[in-house]
Chain A
Amino acid sequence: MINPLAALGRHLDTPRVICLVAAWLAIGVAIGREVGRDHQWRDRPVAAQVNGRPERCLACHTDVTGLAPAHDPEALGCSSCHLGDPLAFDENRAHAGMERFPGDLATATESCGQAACHAEAVRHVTGSLMNTGRGMISVDRFCFGEQAAPDGGPTFADLAREVVPTPAGDHLRRLCASCHLATRRDDHALDRFTRGGGCAACHLAEQGPYQDPAHHRRLTVKVDSERCFGCHSRSGRISLSYDGLAEVALGEPYDVELYDGRPARRVVPDVHAAAGMGCVDCHTRAEVMGDGVDHQHKEEAIEIACADCHPTAPSELTPAGELDAITRRLLALRGWAEQAAPRSRKGTPLYFLATESDGRVTVRSRGPEERRWVAGPTPDDPDHRLAGHERLACQACHSQRAPLCTGCHTAYAATDSQWDHLVGRERAGRWQEEPGPIDYGPPLLGVVADGRIFPFIPGMPLRLQTGPDQPWRQGSYFAPLDPHTTTRAARPCSGCHRDGATLGLGPGTVAYSGPTWRFTPAPDSGDFDLRWTTPDGHAVGRATRGAARSFTAREVDRILAVGACLPCHEKADDPIYQDFPAAHTTWHNGRASQCRLAPPAAR
């Protein structure tokens, strides 16, 4: 009989036993490792399959909240927007190449703008004025004397490639480029100071500092006007004006201190602001995010018009079934039903407008709050039918005020340093602005490219010194602007027909001697010439658009000539305005017996 112990003993010293023991020990250790291993990777990829691939980011970034279903991490993962390596198992590799600020235009084609997401939107935004800054750059270079016309200038991307910036390029890089949409963000804070960040500049909701990484900021198409305020409260100050704020010079009485310390007084807000409308309630996606056209100036990008909500005639509607893909997608994002919609002047379906049978238009808010407003049609009354006023833009009469900067000293100091927004670092040299008093009043009027009479403001009236040893150069420039200070009541007729300043003649008074007007300039009160033109049509200032102009001498004369009649004929339905030239001829021939002004024949 075999003794098993003896048999085992005979083999104890053999390599086979050693191998067996070692192998079993190793297997035991391996089982221990397997059992004791963190199984997060084995479990998570099954739960987080994104487009057929495991998304391991979610193993660490658990329970991320704040995102709407369209950007739910369980549906998109993290890497779809934040890039990095979703297949990696360690933090360093997973975060290599990560985009902390998706939507930044440097990487937007890989994040928001990838083919399956918002490719067209990113392409359009990249070419939009908020990214190219063409208008701003052209005008700045024009005012610095670096280009002959205020159109056709380079983009911010072009400026960034300049090895040695020109004075205007340098000025733009330091004082203007922060509002450039491609400016790189460096934190997740969201307030009026934050600039740039591409898509995130507008589409992140929830104001304030970023505190909880597990709570992702909400992405939204319902853009709050706060997102616009930071950039658009400067220069033309439309955000301020719209909200009923008027910036005043330091030291003057003020009601409000703005986010950046500028003092401001409370004034009457735009009638639309008073009704609770925000920026996106009027301005369309194509205007703000670009329409694929390389526009030179902002008015070329604008497609919304007052008449879209206040029509003068019944609008032609696009049937619901014929809406384009982008419009249908926007409707779906908002959860709105498809319906017939009027089109903008560029043909974009204005899906947020509903034309009622009585001619009124219901405007549905595209902002954060679900609201509706009913807008009446433009009245078909004598004021709006007044002969000779066909070229007037609505803003020419219905803008109550605009910022009328009296001038700005702008000088360059080579010995100081200042932040360069295009390279994101401090560089030698500094531009210092010493603004003069900011006046507010009815805007000037001038003629824009399409022949309409439109509000203008002094745009960059400056005295400029590009270096300590350089001579000061002075310029008076006038920029077309929708002041965003709309009132229901129009400015009085005398505001144009008896006011030289409105017509670009500068400060002064218009006096009438019978039917003859005479403009007397105010005494020179400073080193800035606020005249755009003279009564004899001599151009003093320049428009900041190549095709815009001040009134000609003939136009000034015709406008002011009406002023002679206004004291007695102040209503638009006055018979003399039905055919003013004919009435004038009647008076001139001495056949207007009731007129207090003596005709030439009687003198």
Chain B
Amino acid sequence: MSPLRPKAPHGWPAWLPSTGSLALGCLPVVLVSGGLLAIHFDPAASLASVEAIEEVVPFGFLVRGLHYFAGHLFLVLGLIHAAARLGARDYRRVAPAAWGVAVLMLPLAVWVMLSGFLLRGDPEAIGASEVARYLLALLPDGGHTRSCLLGTSAAALYAQHAATATVLLLVLILAHARIGWPTAHAVALPTTAALCLAAIASAPIAPQGSDPVHAPWYLLGLQEALARTPHPAWPFLPPLVLLAWLLVLPRVTDRWLHAALAGLVAPYLLLTVLGWTR
């Protein structure tokens, strides 16, 4: 497996680390803030403990905001990084296994983010949890996947978010990045950005009786597609096709790459906008 050492795009400021490095730089603050939150978080009374962190714990709002915004920066920067690398056709230059690791990080990162969203325990999280359970129950595996991912209690989900899925993601990230630790710049910039956002804005908690209930922004398109298709399995086909397509990309010609991406991603973005404005 050859290491990824992408070249910076033309015009990229010399002092600014690459998006991949910046995404990696989000991880220290996510991990540290997550560790601090774990002191006060109670999966058995998730919403109450989240509210207590916000309202009772000194600087709890700041720590939770750091965790929330740094996590989102990680996802945003990771997606930009992935889009940039796809545009630079890096899949041609790396070993298929390394590419596969990079591709698998995407759904894993989304799952880690989603598990954090579900752990809030607010009406949006409860609604999303019910939808997730319903959808996973459709899989022809006798509920095995549902049990593995969601468990039967919030504690199981908490274990996914705080340990299992996160550790797996970190392993993949380290295997992907092939560096031991991000540079000081790469850490400082997203940390500062997250700090600024956490200082001026609060990580959300949906109020009681929220209607409509929104999925997290990165799954809004899926939520909207679910609402518009007659069978709940259909909206999952395009992402799965896209994932499969990305996995086999190094082995096939990329003649239809842009068309495929446009054909799958553009409708998703449109659905996301529709879901946002609903």
Name A residues whose Cβ lies closer than 8 Å to a Cβ of B. Answer: 14-16, 19, 22-23, 25-27, 29-30, 33-34, 41-42, 45, 54, 85, 87-90, 92-93, 96
Contacts and interface: CB of A to CB of B under 8 A. Distances in A.
A26 B198 contact: yes
A41 B52 CA distance: 8
Contacts of B12: none
Contacts of A19: 188-189, 192
Contacts of B192: 19, 22-23, 26
Contacts of A25: 196, 199
Given A19-B188, A22-B192, A27-B195, A45 B209 contact: no
A397 B55 CA distance: 72
Interface string B41-69: 00001011001101110110110000000
B16 interface: yes
Contacts of B62: 30, 33-34
B1 interface: no
A15 B189 contact: yes
Q: Is the interface of A mostly helix, strand, loop or mixed?
A: helix
B200 interface: yes
Contacts of B52: 41, 54, 87
B234 interface: no
A22 B196 contact: yes
Contacts of A45: 56
A33 B196 contact: no
Max chain A C-beta neighbours (<10 A), residue from B51, B59, B185: B51
B248 to A, nearest CB: 39
15 contacts: A14-B15, A16-B188, A19-B192, A23-B191, A26-B199, A30-B199, A33-B199, A34-B58, A41-B52, A54-B52, A88-B208, A90-B208, A92-B208, A92-B209, A96-B208
Interface of B: 15-16, 45, 47-48, 51-52, 54-56, 58-59, 61-62, 185, 188-189, 191-192, 195-196, 198-200, 207-209
B236 to A, nearest CB: 33
Given A87-B48, A87-B52, A88-B48, A23 B15 contact: no
A30 B188 contact: no
A43 to B, nearest CB: 9
A27 B63 CA distance: 12
B208 A87 contact: no
A112 to B, nearest CB: 24
Nearest to A14: B15
Given A30-B198, A33-B61, A93 B189 contact: no
B48 A34 contact: no
A30 B207 contact: no
B199 A93 contact: no
Nearest to A32: B199
A23 B190 CA distance: 11
Contacts of A54: 52
Given A15-B185, A26-B196, A87-B45, A34 B59 contact: yes
B16 A15 contact: yes
Max chain B C-beta neighbours (<10 A), residue from A16, A30, A90, A92: A30
Contacts of B207: 90, 92-93
B75 to A, nearest CB: 21
B18 to A, nearest CB: 14
A41 B189 contact: no
Given A23-B192, A25-B196, 9 more contacts: A26-B192, A33-B61, A34-B62, A41-B56, A85-B48, A87-B45, A89-B54, A92-B208, A92-B209
A120 to B, nearest CB: 30
A321 B169 CA distance: 69
The 5 lowest CB-CB distance pairs between A and B, nearest first, are A87-B48, A26-B199, A93-B208, A29-B199, A30-B199
A33 B202 CA distance: 11
A265 B52 CA distance: 63
B189 A23 contact: no
Contact of B56 (A16, A30, A42): A42
A87 B51 contact: yes
Contacts of A33: 61-62, 199
